[in-house]
Amino acid sequence: MNRKMNGDCEMSKVTDEIHGQIIGITDEERVKIDAFERRMYSHDLASLPKMMELGFKMMPDLVVIPKDAEEIAEIIKIARKEGIPVVPRGGASWGLGGAMPVDGGIVIDLTKMNKILNIDKNNFNVTVESGVTWKKLYDSLIKMGYMIGSYPSSAYAATIGGWISTGGVGVGTYKYGSAIDHMESLEVVLPTGRILEIGESETSTTGGQDLSRLFFGAEGTLGIVTKARLKIHPAPEEIRPLSYGFDNLKVLSSVVKKMTLSDVMPLHISFLDRFHFEFLRDLGIEIPGSEINDMLNIALEGDSAVLDLEEEALDKIAMTNNGKKQENDIALHEWNERFFELRTKRAGPTATLGEVFIPISNMAEMVEDIYKLIKKMKLRAAVTGMISDRNTAVFMPYYLSDERKLIRNLVSLSFIKKLGDLAFTHGGRPAGQGLFFPGNLKKTYGPGRDTMMDIKSVMDPFDLMNPGKTTEGLTRFGIPIPTFAMNSGMNMMAWIKHILTKDKKVST
């Protein structure tokens, strides 16, 4: 193949001819191959050391901004013919490398497919292009008296397609479930270039397989979500935020357990430990209230009269466990801060966030073990999280470090792996695979992972659709990252971190 040197001396998979073909499908304005622009698309939220580029070609060879599924289908057909990887990209607000190439190729930037196509008031659904952000969708619906039940806490940047593909939980998941529970149908472009409309018909399921479910959490490895029809709900009379302070997360956990057993159904339940607030205070960021507690934040939603009763019930549970009900302004402040979970990052200035799912029954034990791990690794960390349904606690602890201190920062990374191990011990699992944790898939699903790989190889036999993610960690040379090497490497790193001196202001 006639390959050319491309800007930064990398061999490009995209020849002049292919470049020309892609411009032919779209137009000149929406295709870039210059190194400056491509560099912008070589990463997501995670700040990775540049040495990573020894193993991964994170720079795409070409970036294209398509305007519809048809254009994407044509681009994919070319990529398939030429053997070029294709990486779909939404808001790029995830930290596990899902939207980052590992072997160059074509990045498809979906953020300009951002139209809300139809709000069907009679049938309570909305049809959107996949590049719409959840914030924009939420705002547009609220204006008209409707509501999307749940959305990711990164809603300002996260796109519809991005959250569907990463399969996450978010604000409102407790009451309304995740993106999958809102999905009525999807339009997807398959790795063959075929465009499918899949999912339920307008009314309800009529048998046959609902293929749309395959794309939830597939991290763009099976195809590209281009449109979605989502369920909507009437906007409530009131959203009422409540906050309760506790002495520690263990007590808070026992209260949460009682609340999940009650028949109150809040919109959202989340928690932040006192270390998080201490970091904020260290930064000089104003937080209402004088006292620092471990905080349980709850949002109720519905008719005000009903909320009065629900609030009373929750108050009772909290008070019997020494919970301190916070003033309204604190609760409101906490609710408004739901999109800004990492405001403390500046104190690092590097913050690394882990995410694990644990059965509610084991929440208190998990709290204890996370703090033990933090102490053992001498990290400056805080524990935050949410309750995603009656039986699932999601822990999102993060630690602060400084990426300029290379070794210290690198070995700290093993915290995320160790956190995953703890999750497995307590009957839970880490969230998301992306580039770094495909190894967890086997541990989580056992032979189910083999079936996922079978599905992947049937749908994408040449492994061109977001290769190296979800089911297999893959380097630029097509060599998988062996799970045992990853594990022993991570264990070694944790040990090194353990023998290093304490991080400044250790939080335990």
Partner 1 sequence: MKIKIGGIENDLYACLQCGYCTSICPVYNEVGWESASPRGKIFYIKQLTQKSIWDRILRRKIDINDALIKRIYQCTNCGACEEVCHVNNKPYEIWGLVKDWFYANNIDPPEILKKMQSTIETNHSPYVSGFESGSVADRNELLIKKYKLPEKGEVVFFVGCVSSYLLIKMMNSALKILRKSGINYTVLKDEWCCGNILGATGQGKSPTFQKSAQHNMAAVKATGANTLVTSCPGCYRTFSEMYPKYASKPDFEVMHFTELLVDLIDNEKISFKKSFDKKIAYHDPCELGRLSGIYEPPRKILENIPGIKLTELIDNKKDCNCCGNGGGLSSLEPDLAMNISLKKIDEVLETKADTLVSSCPNCRHGLSNAILEKKKRMSTNGGGDLGLDMMDITELVGKLV
- Minimum distance, C-beta of residue 499 to partner 1, in the bound complex (Å): 26
Nearer to partner 1 by Cβ, of 110 and 490: the residue is 110
- Tokens, residue 330: 């604190």
CB under 8 A: which stretch of 47-55, 206-214, 226-234, 478-486 binds partner 1?
A: 47-55
- Minimum distance, C-beta of residue 40 to partner 1, in the bound complex (Å): 4
504 binds partner 1, rule: CB under 8 A: no
Q: Which of 61, 69, 93, 420 binds partner 1 (CB under 8 A)?
A: 93
CB under 8 A: which stretch of 85-93, 210-218, 419-427, 446-454 binds partner 1?
A: 85-93
Q: Which amino acid is at 181?
A: D
Size of the site for partner 1 (CB under 8 A): 49
45 binds partner 1, rule: CB under 8 A: yes
Q: Which residue has the tokens 């990252």?
A: 481
- Minimum distance, C-beta of residue 91 to partner 1, in the bound complex (Å): 5
The binding track of 396-435 with respect to partner 1, each residue x by CB under 8 A or -, is ------xxx-------------------------------
Nearer to partner 1 by Cβ, of 90 and 172: the residue is 90
- Closest listed residue to residue 76, CA positions, set 206, 172, 194: 194
Q: What is d(CA 128, CA 117) in angstroms, rounded to the nearest whole number?
A: 5
- Closest listed residue to residue 344, CA positions, set 298, 284, 386: 284
CB 77 within 8 A of CB 94: no
Strand partners for 133: 159
- Residue 379 to residues 344, 369, 494: CA-CA distances in angstroms? 15, 14, 11
Nearer to partner 1 by Cβ, of 9 and 458: the residue is 9
- Minimum distance, C-beta of residue 397 to partner 1, in the bound complex (Å): 16
70 binds partner 1, rule: CB under 8 A: no
Q: What are phi and psi of 392, to 5 degrees?
A: -130, 125
CB under 8 A: which stretch of 28-36, 313-321, 430-438, 447-455 binds partner 1?
A: 28-36
Enclosing H/E stretch for 271:
strand 268-272
DSSP-assigned states of every residue in 31-49 = EE--HHHHHHTS--SS---
Nearer to partner 1 by Cβ, of 143 and 499: the residue is 143
* Three-class secondary structure of residue 222 per DSSP: coil
Q: Which residue has the tokens 């335990």?
A: 508
Strand partners for 298: 242, 269
The residues, any chain, with a CB within 8 Å of residue 185's CB and separated by 6 or more, are 197, 198, 199, 200, 201, 212, 228, 229
The binding track of 3-22 with respect to partner 1, each residue x by CB under 8 A or -, is ----xxxx------------
Nearer to partner 1 by Cβ, of 177 and 288: the residue is 288
Q: What is d(CA 239, CA 231) in angstroms, rounded to the nearest whole number?
A: 19
Nearer to partner 1 by Cβ, of 65 and 195: the residue is 65
Q: Name which of residues 363 to 402 contact partner 1 (CB under 8 A).
A: 402
Nearer to partner 1 by Cβ, of 154 and 412: the residue is 154
How crowded is the C-beta side of 471, counted as CA atoms within 13 Å?
A: 21
Q: What are phi and psi of 185, to 5 degrees?
A: -155, 160
- Minimum distance, C-beta of residue 143 to partner 1, in the bound complex (Å): 7
- Residue 110 to residues 73, 87, 114, 245: CA-CA distances in angstroms? 13, 10, 8, 41
Q: Name which of residues 107 to 136 contact partner 1 (CB under 8 A).
A: 109, 111-112, 133, 135-136
Q: Which of 3, 16, 24, 35 binds partner 1 (CB under 8 A)?
A: 35
List b or e across 169-185, with b for residues whose CB sees 16 or more CB atoms inside 10 angstroms. Answer: bbbbbbbbbbbeebbbb
Q: Which of 17, 27, 47, 502 binds partner 1 (CB under 8 A)?
A: 47
Nearer to partner 1 by Cβ, of 108 and 222: the residue is 108
Which value, in Å, is the radius of gyration of the alpha carbons in the chain?
23
| SS3 assignment for 62-73 | EEECCCCHHHHH
CB under 8 A: which stretch of 50-58, 375-383, 428-436, 450-458 binds partner 1?
A: 50-58
Q: Which of 15, 23, 26, 30 binds partner 1 (CB under 8 A)?
A: 30
Q: Which of 130, 154, 166, 440 binds partner 1 (CB under 8 A)?
A: 154
- Tokens, residue 339: 């999109």
Q: Name which of residues 181 to 240 contact partner 1 (CB under 8 A).
A: none
- Where along the sequence are the contacts to partner 1 (CB under 8 A)? 7-10, 30, 32, 34-37, 39-41, 43-45, 47, 50-51, 53-54, 65, 91-93, 109, 111-112, 133, 135-136, 143, 154, 156-157, 285, 339-340, 342-343, 345-346, 348-351, 402-404
